[in-house]
Structure 1
């Protein structure tokens, strides 16, 4: 219980920081209204996905992974996976609660209320880009002019509750580094600032490429150093390495390899895999890693949470749960992740 409350409090504090930084910079399958008594409602959109919206003088966009990313066979259809009850819903509620707290404090923004429009990124670039286009459309098209159809959606249907949509002042999220880069490449064309809460790719530190991007977490350089320090502390000199296919895993693994070479650490085998890969792919990956046993028992994992989950589930299927020790990142230790991999979680070292 204490761990869950700590996670909730940390999410709330991080959301406060995100919103305050954004204001300085600017100068579920179905979401429902009425939560905590706030004025939230569904709005129409040109895409078929539902949107959660909270009215205000200034509207802040948000991209949260309310659903899991599309399975490999569903990617062309952009059909998202199951709902993320803790990771996704928790961030939606943290956003609403944080805005409520800010709006109630007249010392922060007197006579100004903050609102939000929250969209589901499904932890996938194609879905996030689709939803980002909706943000841009809101910023470019005025719906106030009767000539353009005031109070109506693009298909001429009335806007729910008679609301008139406002431009997005900035966007919070998405969580994945690879997805955040894709979204930033689009948003910066329209001078829309973006603040990420968990995108740690080293590439995003380049302000010449991503000039409208900010984040509240350090880059992967520090994570790579922490992993290497753990390896050195226990005198492991021969390890394997796995990373999630995509920018986060690739840039992080490159940083680790460079540091490892300087310290004389040998990497027996490196491999990569998509986080939404099928069971056969994860089983094949485990079999490759087993070829390096018993010397390379330690596996450095620059992986997203779902990638590590796939690896641990493959260990369970193949009956090799005690043969490896994974060194992974802190975000893997959330409640839902631990519940689904409880029988193999002892093989995970989180830094």
Structure 2
């Protein structure tokens, strides 16, 4: 249709172009399109006509000016697209206008199209030198946002960059980390998939395979791709393809059914109602342009007369295919002739379906954007009245400049372009769901708005149906998630989504799913059995509540009671010869010290504290020295007594009771002095032993100064050795009540116990160190009391006839 200003339109109404064999002897014919009519693309072309007629009837937009249009079919072919682009650039008018005040009939101010990205790229490069603006309704390749290469390109559909980011977030949202990828081998598919894969990598998503296809590829290549899909382990497939190419793949897959696959689709095919016939794609999810309403469009589409249909080859073919008849003279004798009784109202096709207008609205907005740009250049608003001069000569460059500034609202939809010629990206999330009747329907289940802040763009407001009608989200992972308590270890030569789950090392935990590393527990904590939580380590010490502690405490009390009973027996028989003959004063002092030795072991049981740590070691050292000093005194007394029986000997006066007491006090004082220095310089203190056992804390007494501890033990050992030597020297002295033999045996046991104690003490772990120390105290104490006092108590209690002076003096 002619007009004051003409707008071009290019749509992929047919799928193929006619193959022409050139003989190079005649002028080649014009390229022609073949194949069936794409009723959806036909609806796009008719929507452009509807929008132009609506503008021509408007009193606000371009009043008094008539827009014309030239609409061409590109056959979804780049060569044909280039051909029709040259036609639009050169104009179809053969008349040259030289006057200044005449209509610029035939000159194209801007072009609406193309539906595909690759043809749109070719168009933009051809018309760029002429500054003719191009507004696409369906070319989504992110590459077209490059204003250095495509400065004249605009679009009303969002760039694939936004869709790729949205698809990556969608895949991540449902926990799919192992996917397959299929794309069209075109600028749309290759660039869109590249953007998606880049976004998916940021989200930690891995791709098992990435394959391309094109409708011109040989059948063997399509078969190979279908086999790849059948053999793959990825359940989810992201398809960045056009409808025509995915249709070929799905038809091939249908020949030999593959395992169920969850399809994730791009806008190019997921909203194409012709694709709903493929039931294997039930449950498909993808993003689409928001639904819209264009008033009166349906009436316009259905208002077709036979005259109007006959004037257009595309409408003629559409009409004949839809009603299975032939128009006019083209009908053969045996064919049905279209007579005008056909009712397009009853026709069910994409052309008549206006229930979900998505891309159609993009065409509508593209036409209005161009009209607003022309309006801003040729019209002026004065006194609330708009005046337009249809004779104003304008160039396409001026329309290009005005397009960058347009900002208006039409039917409630905002239209504007950013610096890259892109609109604001808003999508609906659609899901292919089976209806009660068994057919597949597109249902809007969510929204995506790229203008919202990070993390808030995505919103799902309805339940989704998945592959095979399942209500549960399918699982598509290379490796199952690693539970807490394990960490991920990548499998050699495989993507990062393929890994093994290795339990955390000893002492470390991971408390999150799919943790890449384990971290150690704090010093006083230890992992539980699952290694996903740190718990406080159990504190361990020798307590009165456990069996070992009770047994040792019982022996301590029994030993103390035994020493007290022995003292009572000796006290009751203090006048008897056996008691008097063995220095009763030192015997009672020895029994007192042995009682303290037994009770001293109780200080080693229980939770260590400052006072108990200082008391247990110093009390043990002083009491044992007191005990050994008494034994030593008794040994010296035996030796001195037999020296005194020699003629002229006066030894006993040098070792009488006073000297004996002084000997015990002196030896004991030295130990007291050693312990005092130890306590002043570096006393024992309670500590938490974290090194002996990793999984528990040993509460023990640190020695403070190890030198002080070993000096105390060394002094006790020195006295014991000295006492043992003296007892050995006196063991054969003739006397029925000679204690030297008994002291020899007791010191032998004492030294054996404490010599054994040293390696046992050093090697015993944890609370058993304390147990070894208590055992040494009790064993040596029992050795002393049993070897020295048991024989005497036996005679006193059971052999009183031997407890006489006569028996004592009998040296045979």
> Does the TM-score normalized on the shorter chain lie above 0.5?
yes
1:82 partnered with 2:35? yes
Match of 1:325 among 258, 262, 284: 262
Q: Is the 8 A contact 2:180 2:238 kept in 1?
A: yes
Residue number in structure 1 paired with 2:155: 215
The answer as to whether partners of 2:5 and 2:105 remain within 8 angstroms in 1 is no
How large is the Cα RMSD of the aligned pairs?
A: 2.4
Looking at structure 2, the residues matched to 337 and 279 of structure 1 have their Cα atoms a distance apart, in angstroms, of: 21
Give the corresponding residue for 1:176: 116
Secondary structure class of the residue paired with 2:224 = helix
Q: What is the match of residue 68 of structure 1?
A: 15
Q: Does 1:303 align with 2:256?
A: no
CA separation of 1:118 and 1:80: change in aligned 2, threshold 3 A: same
The corresponding residue for 1:153 is none
From 104, 111, 134, the counterpart of 1:194: 134
Q: Could you say which residue in structure 1 is the equivalent of 2:70? A: 117
Distance in 1, matches of 2:121 and 2:286, equals 25
Give the match for residue 59 of structure 2: 106
Displacement of 1:302 after TM fit? 1.1
What is the DSSP-based 3-state SS (H/G/I as helix, E as strand, rest coil) of the residue aligned with 2:111? strand
Contact between 1:279 and 1:310, CA under 8 Å: does it hold in 2? no
The counterpart of 2:2, out of the listed 34, 38, 55, is: 55
Q: 1:75 and 1:106 mapped to 2: Cα distance?
A: 48
The residue aligned with 1:286 is 226
Cα distance in 1, alignment partners of residues 39 and 4 from structure 2: 29
Q: TM-score, normalised by structure 1?
A: 0.72
- Cα distance 1:330–1:202, how it changes in 2: closer, same or farther (>3 A)? closer
Q: 1:165 to 1:280 in 2, by over 3 A?
A: farther
**Distance between the aligned counterparts of 1:236 and 1:168, measured in 2?**
49
Matched, 1:236 2:176: yes
Cα separation, partners in 2 of 1:76 and 1:257, compared to 1, 3 Å = farther
2:199 is the counterpart of 1:259:
yes
Q: Indicate conservation of the 8 Å contact 1:175/1:196, yes or no.
A: yes
Partner SS, residue 62 of structure 2: coil
Q: 2:94 & 2:3 partners in 1: Cα distance?
A: 17
Q: CA deviation at 1:130?
A: 0.6
* Aligned partner (choices 272, 278, 286) of residue 350 of structure 1: 286
1:69/1:276 contact within 8 Å kept: no
Aligned to 1:11: none
Shift of 1:75: 8.8
Contact 2:2 2:67 in 1 (8 A): yes
Flag as ranges the 4+ runs of structure 1 deviating above 6 A. none
Q: Separation in 2 of the partners of 1:75 and 1:216? A: 36
Answer whether contact 1:315 1:344 (CA < 8 A) is retained.
no
Per-residue Cα deviation, 1:158-209 (whole angstroms, up to 9, x for no partner): xxxxxx9511111110110111001100011111111000111111101111
- Deviation string 1:249-269 (CA, Å, 9 cap, x unpaired) is 111111111112222211111
- Map of 1:313 onto structure 2: 251
- How is 1:35-50 mapped onto 2 (pairs within 5 angstroms)? none
CA–CA distance in structure 2, aligned partners of residues 337 and 84 of structure 1? 15
- For the 8 Å contact 1:279–1:314, the answer to whether it is kept is no
Query: Residue 3 of structure 2 contacts residue 105 of structure 2 at CA under 8 Å; is this kept in 1?
Result: no
Seen in structure 2, the aligned counterparts of structure 1 residues 348 and 314 have a Cα distance that, compared at 3 Å, is: farther
Comparing both chains, which one has the higher relative contact order based on Cα–Cα distances under 8 Å and sequence gaps of 6 or more? 1
CA contact (8 A) 1:197 1:215 kept: yes
**3-state DSSP of counterpart to 1:109:** coil
Structure 1 position 272, deviation (Å): 0.8
